[in-house]
Amino acid sequence: MKFKYSEYQDSDGAKIYRPLVPIVFKYKSKFIQTTAVIDSGADYNILPIEMAGVLEIKLDAKSKKKFHGAGSNSFNVYPSTVKIEHMLRQGGFRTINWQTQVFFAESQPAILLGHRGFLERFKVILDGIKRELEICVE
């Protein structure tokens, strides 16, 4: 499966390209269709805490942890108590499905697909020159 990078503008108006993929997160009968950044610097799959409410996943306040992001910025996360279904879809290809635990983050609007839960499962080729990524299922 190949995907083109998404184009954005930074605060100075310069173009930035990010490796985003369309993805569906599902738990029981609830689902969210969105996009996620493939982040080789993220250790885990991280979703905004608001998504736990939409998926009707109860979080345990006692399990709160502190993660550190780029620039050593810290933020609070809550591990999911259940595995969340992930689905990557693209016309002409079979859907890639898997289930994994995620972390729900406070004050973190980006959806990140990191090593544990995503990159450890697939061969992912990030081609910055062509501004595209490829996900291979072996």
CATH number for the domain spanning 55: value is: 2.40.70.10
Position 94 scores a pLDDT of 85
> Mean pLDDT of all residues in the chain?
91
b/e map 30-57, b = 16+ CB within 10 Å: eebeeebbbbeebebbbbbbebbeebeb
CA 92 to chain centre: 23
Average pLDDT over residues 3-11: 93
Q: How many domains does the chain have?
A: 1
Position 107 scores a pLDDT of 81
Its domain, for residue 97, covers: 2-136
Position 2 scores a pLDDT of 93
